[in-house]
């Protein structure tokens, strides 16, 4: 008897713990997206929750900590998708194309994460254009891909860091433009990004 009770208890507790953590994360995601990281207060977050103020601190140490958890979540998700792309890629062109499409599609399908990412940009000491640690890691992987493509003679010997930054810049800026349009069209965004990146303004696009 007491065995089953105990195991029930611990099970329920674990579930509840998970639920509460998720509730906080969900609330935080919304608030950050709505009023930005800087403007968000811990009170704003818990207010959107059934929890008491103190409960927040059972799960996260600070506002920054929740934010990092969210960033990590998105970054990990996105980076995994991009790794899958990398593995399936058979050509550099196809790789870049798939990367852009994956990237734009991800945010098209997760608008709240897009909003969060934008609010990210405002964190103090986080003013690298929009680079949390996750983005940084993603860029490092991209740099490696570029280096390899250069080594294999697939693309010319360009400045790797400049190119990495540029591709990121193109992705970010087109993402912002795409998110303002209705309906969302990740394919169109991808096509433009690919075209510009691969052949430039002079390319046979249009």
Partner DNA sequence: CATGAATGAGTATTCATTCAT
Partner DNA sequence: CATGAATGAATACTCATTCAT
The residues binding its own copies (CB under 8 A) are 1-3, 6, 35-36, 38-39, 96, 118-119, 121-130, 155-159, 161-163, 165-166, 168-174, 176-177, 188-189, 192-193, 195-206
Closest to its own copies by CB, 22 or 188:
188
First-to-last CA distance in the chain? 74
Dihedral sign for Cα 124, 128, 129, 130, please. negative
If 0-12 CB within 10 Å is exposed, 13-18 middle and 19+ buried, where does residue 131 land? middle
Least Cβ distance, residue 81 to its own copies (angstroms):
21
Angle at Cα 111 formed by Cα 110 and Cα 113, nearest 5°?
70
Choose among its own copies, DNA, none what residue 152 binds, the Cβ cut-off being 5 to 8 Å by kind: none
Q: Exactly one of 22, 35, 53, 127 binds DNA (CB under 7 A); which one?
A: 53
Tokens of 13: 């507790």
> Within a 13 Å sphere around the CA of 53, how many CA atoms are in the beta-carbon half?
4
Choose among DNA, its own copies, none what residue 127 binds, the Cβ cut-off being 5 to 8 Å by kind: its own copies
Q: How far, in Å, CA of 129 to CA of 179, rounded?
A: 18
Least Cβ distance, residue 128 to its own copies (angstroms):
7
Closest to its own copies by CB, 27 or 189:
189
Q: What is the largest CA-CA distance in the chain?
A: 77
Q: Please give the residue ranges that form the binding site for DNA (CB under 7 A).
A: 5, 8-9, 12-13, 16-17, 20, 40-43, 50-59, 61-63
């Amino acid at each position: 008897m007491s065995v089953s009770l105990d195991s029930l208890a611990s099970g329920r507790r674990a579930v509840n713990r998970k639920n509460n953590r998720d509730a906080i994360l969900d609330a935080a995601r919304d608030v950050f997206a709505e009023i930005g990281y800087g403007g968000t207060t811990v009170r704003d977050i818990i207010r959107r929750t059934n929890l008491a103020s103190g409960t927040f601190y059972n799960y996260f140490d600070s506002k920054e900590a929740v934010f990092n958890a969210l960033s990590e979540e998105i970054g990990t998700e996105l980076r995994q998708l991009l790794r899958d792309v990398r593995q399936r890629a058979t050509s550099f062109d196809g790789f870049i194309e798939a990367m852009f499409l994956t990237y734009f599609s991800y945010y098209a399908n997760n608008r709240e994460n897009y909003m969060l990412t934008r609010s990210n940009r405002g964190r103090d000491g986080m003013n690298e254009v929009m680079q949390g640690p996750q983005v940084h890691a993603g860029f490092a992987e991209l740099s490696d891909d570029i280096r390899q493509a250069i080594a294999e003679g697939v693309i010319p010997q360009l400045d790797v860091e400049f190119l990495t930054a540029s591709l990121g810049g193109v992705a970010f800026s087109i993402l912002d433009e795409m998110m303002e349009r209705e309906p969302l069209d990740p394919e169109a965004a991808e096509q433009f990004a690919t075209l510009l990146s691969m052949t430039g303004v002079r390319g046979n696009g249009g």
